[in-house]
């Protein structure tokens, strides 16, 4: 009788445990579905220029967004790599607000430099180019900072709701710009405005934080710039790595007949990188960051392995979609050799970059800033060598190989860090 009672007690405990976990799993599934819908909408917005053969807008947007992405670590002070593992709530809050304020002048500086260097090479006026880059750069940076805050809080549902609003806004704004047959820079304005619309949703839920941003702007600016200086090695390393990964977009205008297909593929790769980082990766980062804060080495290793598997799965799908759009964007008949080079470069570049986007914060979460800096610097040097030494075909294949090798080295560094943490 006692044994039966014990069995019934264990069964009852198991049922309660399962019942407690079901609402959490359902909430995660529902939030993830919102994030996937948001990414589908953003994806549709990104391919509108491809479908309508707006090659001028496509090449401009790919090149400009590559530059913006390279500067995001500088504008944000690398918050997405630091904030999730910060144990002190008060320090985390001040760093968040400081980064949001300091991002305004920093993104403006990026826009002015971009306009000075590239403004005269576009059909749009230099002033319009600067304004569009400023809007897109700050919108994306502020959204990334807010996403880091949600990751730290473990608020996956709120993050995906904001992401869904961004996706809806990006699609509607881009469709509006396309219908008007607007100049290329307006596509950037549409993207930046979509991020800012999502931030309005975030601000609506955090009124006290918005008031603090307005009333304490100057002290917060000092905090943001101080945080940027303190994280300078991480920021520089991330900038190196982002520059290496965005080189494919930056060189698009110089690729001749491959510029259109390659730019189309880069739009798809960028979309899947965002899926791996900001949609699915946010939940994965929550698990990893929480395990790091709890100093649970076993859970850290398990979470990172799960993130790696998910990242590889996303990268395979992304590579196939990028290949399809690259060939759709072809406007002239090419030889089998040329098409093989293009397909190989697109596939390898997509596989490596999308997989890295999903697990790219792990080394920083584990406190391996020095190892990450060396790895990022090596990536950049290899990328520059490839870009400077050959023509379009050699460059694309070389970039793809560098990306894949970078992913393998990153995996080895993470594995070593986990072993040392466990031992």
d(CA 376, CA 192): 28
166 within 8 A of 198, measured Cβ to Cβ: yes
Looking at residue 19, its pLDDT comes to: 46
Does 422 have pLDDT greater than 80?
A: no
Put residue 210 in one of left, alpha, beta given phi > 0 → left and psi -120 to 50 → alpha. Answer: alpha
Could you tell me which of 138, 124, 113, 107 has the C-alpha nearest to residue 60? Answer: 124
Does 292 have pLDDT greater than 90?
A: no
Query: Predicted confidence band at 119 (pLDDT cuts at 50, 70, 90)?
Result: low
Looking at residue 408, its pLDDT comes to: 93
d(CA 246, CA 239): 10
Taking CA atoms, 103 is separated from 138, 153, 242, in Å, by 6, 22, 18
The alpha carbon of residue 170 and the mean position of all alpha carbons in its chain are separated, in whole angstroms, by: 16
Spatial CB neighbours of 99, under 8 Å, sequence gap ≥ 6? 76, 77, 79, 145, 224, 227, 228
Could you tell me which of 33, 52, 84, 49 has the C-alpha nearest to residue 270? Answer: 49
Most confident of 12-16, 61-65, 167-171, 196-200: 167-171
d(CA 44, CA 390): 34
Does 317 have pLDDT greater than 90?
A: yes
Digit-coded pLDDT (tens) for 7-63: 555 445 544 544 444 455 556 666 667 767 877 888 788 777 777 777 777 777 877
d(CA 297, CA 299): 5
pTM: 0.74
Looking at residue 37, its pLDDT comes to: 83
351 within 8 A of 317, measured Cβ to Cβ: no
d(CA 310, CA 284): 9
Among 122-136, 163-177, 184-198, whose mean pLDDT is lowest?
A: 122-136
Looking at residue 20, its pLDDT comes to: 44
The alpha carbon of residue 338 and the mean position of all alpha carbons in its chain are separated, in whole angstroms, by: 31
Greatest alpha-carbon span in the chain? 87
Name the strand (E) or helix (H) holding 3: helix 2-51
Name the strand (E) or helix (H) holding 91: helix 89-118
Mean pLDDT of the chain, nearest integer: 80
């Amino acid at each position: 009788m006692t044994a039966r009672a014990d069995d019934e007690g264990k069964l009852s405990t198991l049922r309660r445990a399962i019942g407690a976990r079901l609402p959490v799993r359902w909430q995660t599934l529902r939030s993830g579905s919102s994030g996937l819908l948001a990414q589908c909408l953003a994806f549709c917005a990104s391919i509108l220029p491809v479908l309508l053969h707006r090659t001028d807008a496509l090449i401009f947007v790919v090149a400009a967004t590559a530059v913006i992405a390279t500067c995001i670590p500088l504008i944000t002070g690398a918050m997405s790599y630091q904030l999730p593992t910060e144990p002190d709530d008060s320090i985390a809050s001040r760093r968040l607000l400081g980064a949001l304020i300091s991002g305004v002048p920093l993104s403006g500086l990026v826009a002015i430099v971009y306009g000075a260097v590239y403004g005269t090479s576009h059909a749009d006026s230099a002033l319009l180019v600067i304004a569009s880059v400023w809007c897109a750069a700050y919108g994306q940076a502020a959204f990334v900072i807010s996403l880091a805050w949600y990751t730290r809080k473990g608020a996956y549902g709120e993050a995906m709701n904001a992401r869904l609003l961004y996706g809806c806004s990006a699609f509607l704004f881009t469709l509006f710009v396309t219908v008007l047959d607007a100049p290329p820079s307006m596509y950037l304005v549409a993207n930046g405005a979509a991020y800012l619309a999502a931030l309005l949703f975030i601000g609506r839920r955090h009124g006290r934080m918005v008031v603090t941003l307005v009333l304490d702007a100057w002290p917060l600016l000092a905090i943001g710039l101080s945080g940027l200086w303190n994280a300078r090695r991480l920021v520089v390393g991330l900038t190196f790595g982002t520059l290496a990964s965005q080189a494919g977009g930056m060189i698009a205008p110089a690729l001749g007949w491959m510029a259109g297909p390659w730019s189309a593929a880069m739009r798809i790769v960028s979309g899947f990188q965002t899926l791996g980082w900001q949609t699915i990766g946010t939940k994965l980062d929550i698990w990893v960051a929480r395990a790091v804060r709890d100093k649970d080495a076993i859970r850290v290793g398990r979470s990172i392995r799960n993130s790696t598997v998910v990242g590889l799965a996303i990268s395979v799908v992304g590579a196939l979609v990028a290949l399809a759009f690259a060939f759709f964007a072809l406007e002239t008949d090419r030889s089998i050799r040329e098409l093989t080079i293009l397909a190989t470069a697109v596939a390898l570049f997509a596989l490596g970059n999308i997989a890295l986007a999903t697990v790219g914060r792990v080394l920083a979460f584990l406190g391996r800033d020095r190892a990450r800096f060396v790895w990022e610097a090596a990536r950049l040097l290899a990328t520059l060598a490839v870009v400077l030494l050959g023509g379009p075909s050699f460059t694309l294949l070389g970039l793809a190989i560098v990306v894949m090798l970078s992913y393998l080295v990153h995996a080895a560094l993470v594995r070593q860090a986990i072993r040392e943490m466990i031992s």
